[in-house]
């Protein structure tokens, strides 16, 4: 787990940009759908990873809500969403 935190640190330093997609790093025991939904967002993208999902929410404080709900880190996911084929709505 310490290794994951070391890898997540640079991503955590990146501020989420506006209301675009964000990369959410979460513990493996967390329910990504429930965490993102409780924060007022939805999952985006064709795939999920073991420790991360792409999510989008409309509220300005969406990243803070994700962190309060248990996310380890939240970073700008715009570029990654494009690479993964996520569609903007």
What is the CATH classification number for the domain harbouring 32? 3.30.70
Q: How many domains does the chain have?
A: 1
Q: Which two tokens stand for residue 39?
A: 């924060």
User: pLDDT at position 3, please?
Assistant: 55
Q: What is the pLDDT of residues 60-88, one digit of tens each?
A: 999 999 999 999 999 998 887 777 776 65
Whether 75 maps to a domain, the answer reads yes
Q: Which residues pair with 75 in a beta bridge?
A: 23
User: pLDDT at position 45, please?
Assistant: 74
Q: What is the pLDDT of residues 2-58, one digit of tens each?
A: 555 455 555 544 555 557 899 999 999 999 999 999 999 999 876 778 889 999 999
The closest of 74, 77, 69 to 13, measured between CA atoms, is 74
How far is it, in rounded angstroms, from Cα 41 to Cα 59? 8
Distances (CA, A) of 57 to 18, 71, 88: 10, 14, 12
User: pLDDT at position 87, please?
Assistant: 62
Whether 6 maps to a domain, the answer reads no
Whether 40 maps to a domain, the answer reads yes
Whether 45 maps to a domain, the answer reads yes
């Amino acid at each position: 787990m310490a290794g994951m935190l070391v890898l997540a640190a640079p991503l955590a330093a990146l501020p989420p940009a506006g209301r675009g997609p964000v990369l959410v790093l979460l513990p493996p025991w967390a329910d990504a759908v429930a965490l993102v939904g409780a924060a007022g967002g939805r999952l985006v993208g064709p795939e999920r990873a073991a420790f991360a999902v792409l999510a989008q929410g409309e509220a300005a404080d969406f990243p803070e809500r994700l962190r309060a709900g248990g996310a380890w880190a939240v970073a700008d996911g715009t570029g990654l969403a494009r690479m993964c084929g996520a569609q903007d709505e």
